[in-house]
Structure 1
Amino acid sequence: MKKIPFRQCIAAIMLVILSCSAQKSYKVASPGKTNEITFSLTKTGQPQYTLSSGKTKVLQPSLMGFEFDGIPKMADGFKVLSTEKNTVNTTWDQPWGEFKKIKDHHNELTIHLEETGGQKRKMDIIFRVFDDGVGFRYSFPKQPNMDKVKISNELTQFVFPADENVWWTPVHRENSYYESHYRKTAMSRTDTINTPATFEAKSGLFMALHEAALTDYASMTLLKGKGNTYTSELVPWADGTKVYAQVPFATPWRTVIVAKKPGDLVTSTLMLNLNEPSKITDTSWIEPSKYIGIWWGMH
């Protein structure tokens, strides 16, 4: 019997250990294979995602999770219970807006997570990938170990591959209001900025970060962190709490529109498709019109 060299034995053992410890990744691409989301857990069990457009990495591994007042955070120690995939390809009528017909064509990936220790709380993350970008949200299903919660921080990151240029308005500086003049600088020259924020990447792509379906939740600003990272910074109540919520609930969608030309960001219908459908069933009384003038003259 031929003896196996000691070094080869060690190498084989290390390969087995590394393959066993490697975290599984879950992918979902847009219908036209333009954009792709990759989800995985870090070594500590924290959710993270990456976003690619073709062969270009739009967002590098970006962490996800929450911190609460009075109860342990939900940021690591997770395992994947199961996943679901779904495809939607429909067209709906918009009674008032730029386009009458809105096409909703996306692929969806839902990740069902559970804590491995403690109270074994559950959290779902839902990704919807379109040919012009992606939307993702958190969902907390009804469960015995969670009821009313106070969110102190949402830990969603957006990690860019470089110090990209960004058009932005300030949150904590002079003229801090939504009608501020946009300024264009490198990300490294910002602190906390409002959304929507538009990015011109060194890859030649353009991106816009914003949100959709914002209901009973704090609006999102972006806090500049170390490196090329922004983290979701929710606008707080007077007592510092960001969100009061009752389980079950879902967060707004975090949206990233991706385009080769700036004009394509404007014509994207991604956020329209992520907003809740209109509850007005009879739209025959709505008569669209055009208005030119000072906007508050309409009120």
Structure 2
Amino acid sequence: MKNMIKVVIACLLIFNLAACSNTNNTITSPDGKIKLSFHLVQGAPTYQVTYNNDTLVNTSHLGFEFKEQGSMKDQFELIAATVNSADETWQQPWGENKTIRDQYHQIKIELKEAGETGRLLNIFFRAYNDGAAFRYEFPEQKNLKEFVIQNEMTEFNITNNPTTWWIDANYDTYEKLYKSTPMSEAKWVATPVTMVTKNNTHISIHEAALTDYSGMTLKQNESGAYEADLTPWSNGDKVRTKAPMVTPWRTIQIEDSAAELVESNLIVNLNEPCKIEDVSWIEPMKYIGIWWGMHIGTETWYTGPRHGATTEKALADIDFAAANNIEGFVVEGWNHGWAKWGAEGAFDHVTPASDFDLEKVAAYAKEKGVMLIGHHETGGDIPSYEKYIEDAFKMCQRLGMHAVKTGYAGGIFPRGEHHHGQFMVQHYRRVVELAAKYQIMLDVHEPIKPTGIRRTWPNMMTREGVRGMEWNGWSDGNPPSHTVTIPFTRGLAGPTDYTPGTFDILYANAKNRVKWNDQDKGTSRVHTTLAKQIANFVILYSPLQMASDIPTNYEGHPAFQFFRDFNADSDESKVLNGEIGKYITVARRSGEEWFLGSATNEEARTLDVKLSFLEAGKNYKAEIYRDGDDADYLTNPQSYKIETKEVNAETTLKLVLAPGGGQAIRFVKL
């Protein structure tokens, strides 16, 4: 799978211990733009980050407080500093880009506490062309074995109060609308958190390789710097661990533009290489499902006269998928337990509901060449799910179901644990590894945020962790600015199962809707044009990409041809333009075809887009799905036009986007 070219240059710098407090250690990115400096200030470890000689992160402290073993935050001596560089190219089985370059300069700082304890702490710093990262290592040592981290004292002292796009920190959900304010008003935030400085430098703080640790939020201290705030266990512990161990990487993505920020590979590069030897069964795909009807209140998850997951309906939807070049089909509400929602031990993940013949549906899907995607809603009941999970995965493998959508809606059992704490991080990892054993791809809802695990376990395909399409079904919904904010915020963490593609925007075909959610005020609808719904298939990257609407709303609809032709297996991606919360244009290549998606916020916009990404010297047919001349997400959202043009790499297209609108284009080589 890997074609690697690697150059490693290492030198060991041993310093006089008496002079360590005055020693500065600096690395730069390969292109020289980013400078990452480590300093001991009166025995306390600190770092700084500059970009093009501007200080982005001023002196920021590092260290830990332990539950019963004091703190490790000062009184350090520098033992050694090891500098090395690496440059390798690796291949992933799927992704925005199949080929990734991993190039950085690194310094390993080895510290020892003064005095009798003499505890050891190492810090790795890396400088990439697209950002900086660091992590802690507790090496094996006699004076620190098992311990509980009560506070990670990592600071991000961002300078000059940049404009910040953020959501409030929450230990259990990321499903919120983004705010744009000065950083000084963003007091406690989830990551990724994205900023733009007065010099137009774009920054995003996040984490990578979160494997056995608590998820990090950021909270401002009295000086206005962000400090790591870790999601606690039910008793208040933050991280339970033992040496030797390493923490997740703390990441700072840095680019000149919003478009370049989206193209960063920093997060995946900081994860371990793939641990699955045979990845041939891991394949991106498009899918539909029995799902949207429940959200808009025309069907139910539980059995009864309005039950969505019936055998008859599933067979009909499989026929639709097979006839429309759609590779997958998910069924929510197929199993026992939905009538006991919220109760402990409610869900059974192996027994079908009384009106759903799982064996028949799975066999029919296989006959039709459609992947039946399993659905495991846990209701947050972890002990119950872990009791069923291996048998459920075995059953999926036997039935040819190589993908499962999991869900963790509601509070976590045992009560007091959080979705984003170490308890759940450990659970999510067990599920991913067990799924790989049974050749199952995962789509996780109510997840821990992505931190690049997809490199190590590429069966971790996509996850929610965002305020997605479903909120349009039973609340005030998502404003047009939301989906042109996601790529620059949550999308920087990894693939996003937003589930775009609703065509019945005003629910005109949703007869006999029944209110089931307290947030439904009777005004629910989708706040985009139809053309933007199509564009979001390209913009909101997911290797498992869903067309969210009820299949009958697609039947005979000319605009659905784009999804029929769309290929979720991307080879190469280009972000052609973008401003956070305003607009974005993305092009993705699948084989010899390119797909383009462009979208705007509430404002109408005209964008000139150069097609230089097309193969030079070749002509292409551009199949254009655009907003109609009178389209407007508020007054006329379903107005659209389909046109064709002959174009080439020299062509500049003028994209006219309606308020809340978009445009999608397929480029086919002539």
**TM-score normalised to the size of structure 2?**
0.40
Cα deviation, residue 125, structure 1: 0.2
Instruction: Determine the structure 2 residue equivalent to 1:217.
Output: 213
Cα deviation, residue 290, structure 1: 4.6
- Comparing 230-239 with 22-31, greater Cα deviation is found at 22-31
Instruction: Determine the structure 2 residue equivalent to 1:33.
Output: 32
Instruction: Determine the structure 1 residue equivalent to 2:22.
Output: 23
Instruction: Determine the structure 1 residue equivalent to 2:144.
Output: 146
State the distance in 1 between where 2:287 and 2:199 align.
Answer: 38
Of 148, 153, 168 in structure 2, the residue corresponding to residue 155 of structure 1 is 153
Instruction: Determine the structure 2 residue equivalent to 1:246.
Output: 242
Residues 80, 109 of structure 2: 8 Å contact kept:
yes
Residues 64, 75 of structure 1: 8 Å contact kept:
yes
- Comparing 225-234 with 238-247, greater Cα deviation is found at 225-234
Cα deviation, residue 22, structure 1: 6.6
Higher relative contact order structure (alpha carbons within 8 Å, sequence separation ≥ 6): 1
Deviation per residue, 1:105-124 (Å, 9 max, x gap):
01110000000113000000
Instruction: Determine the structure 2 residue equivalent to 1:4.
Output: none
Deviation per residue, 1:207-241 (Å, 9 max, x gap):
00000000110000001112331000000001111
Instruction: Determine the structure 2 residue equivalent to 1:282.
Output: 278
- Give 3-state SS (helix, strand or coil) of 1:263's partner: helix
Deviation per residue, 1:180-204 (Å, 9 max, x gap):
1110111221221100000111222
Aligned partner of 2:169: which letter? V
State the distance in 2 between where 1:114 and 1:223 align.
Answer: 28
Cα deviation, residue 242, structure 1: 0.3
Aligned counterparts, 1:234-273, within 5 A? 234-273=230-269
Cα deviation, residue 292, structure 1: 7.9
- Comparing 120-129 with 224-233, greater Cα deviation is found at 224-233
Residues 162, 228 of structure 1: 8 Å contact kept:
no
Q: Say if 1:38 and 1:99 are closer, same or farther in 2 by CA, change over 3 A.
A: same
State the distance in 1 between where 2:93 and 2:253 align.
Answer: 24
Cα deviation, residue 128, structure 1: 1.2
Matched, 1:121 2:90: no
Of 200, 216, 232 in structure 1, the residue corresponding to residue 196 of structure 2 is 200
State the distance in 1 between where 2:84 and 2:255 align.
Answer: 24
Instruction: Determine the structure 2 residue equivalent to 1:170.
Output: 168
Aligned counterparts, 1:86-97, within 5 A? 86-97=84-95
Deviation per residue, 1:82-119 (Å, 9 max, x gap):
01111111001110211110100011100000001130
Deviation per residue, 1:142-185 (Å, 9 max, x gap):
00001100000000000012122111110259xx7312111011
The structure having more radius of gyration, on CA atoms, is: 2
Aligned counterparts, 1:39-78, within 5 A? 39-43=38-42, 45-78=43-76
**TM-score normalised to the size of structure 1?**
0.88
Cα deviation, residue 291, structure 1: 5.5
Instruction: Determine the structure 1 residue equivalent to 2:568.
Output: none
Higher strand share: 1
Q: Say if 1:228 and 1:162 are closer, same or farther in 2 by CA, change over 3 A.
A: farther
Moved beyond 2 Å, runs of 4+: 284-299
State the distance in 1 between where 2:73 and 2:112 align.
Answer: 11
Q: What is the percent sequence identity of the aligned residues? A: 38
State the distance in 2 between where 1:61 and 1:138 align.
Answer: 18
Aligned partner of 1:38: which letter? S
Q: Say if 1:272 and 1:172 are closer, same or farther in 2 by CA, change over 3 A.
A: closer
Unmatched segments (≥5 aa) in structure 2: 1-18, 293-328, 331-372, 374-404, 406-670
Cα deviation, residue 271, structure 1: 0.6
Residues 113, 123 of structure 1: 8 Å contact kept:
yes
Cα deviation, residue 37, structure 1: 0.4
Deviation per residue, 1:14-63 (Å, 9 max, x gap):
xxxxxx797210000111112110101112x1100000111111100100
State the distance in 2 between where 1:290 and 1:35 align.
Answer: 39
- Give 3-state SS (helix, strand or coil) of 1:271's partner: helix
- Give 3-state SS (helix, strand or coil) of 1:39's partner: strand
Cα deviation, residue 289, structure 1: 3.2
Aligned partner of 1:94: which letter? Q
Instruction: Determine the structure 2 residue equivalent to 1:132.
Output: 130
Aligned partner of 1:183: which letter? K
Aligned partner of 1:229: which letter? A
- Give 3-state SS (helix, strand or coil) of 1:204's partner: coil
Q: Say if 1:290 and 1:102 are closer, same or farther in 2 by CA, change over 3 A.
A: farther
Residues 95, 288 of structure 1: 8 Å contact kept:
no
- Give 3-state SS (helix, strand or coil) of 2:125's partner: strand
Unmatched segments (≥5 aa) in structure 1: 1-19
Residues 170, 177 of structure 1: 8 Å contact kept:
no
- CA RMSD across the alignment: 2.0
Cα deviation, residue 286, structure 1: 2.5
State the distance in 2 between where 1:70 and 1:36 align.
Answer: 36
Residues 161, 228 of structure 1: 8 Å contact kept:
no
Cα deviation, residue 288, structure 1: 2.9
State the distance in 2 between where 1:134 and 1:121 align.
Answer: 27
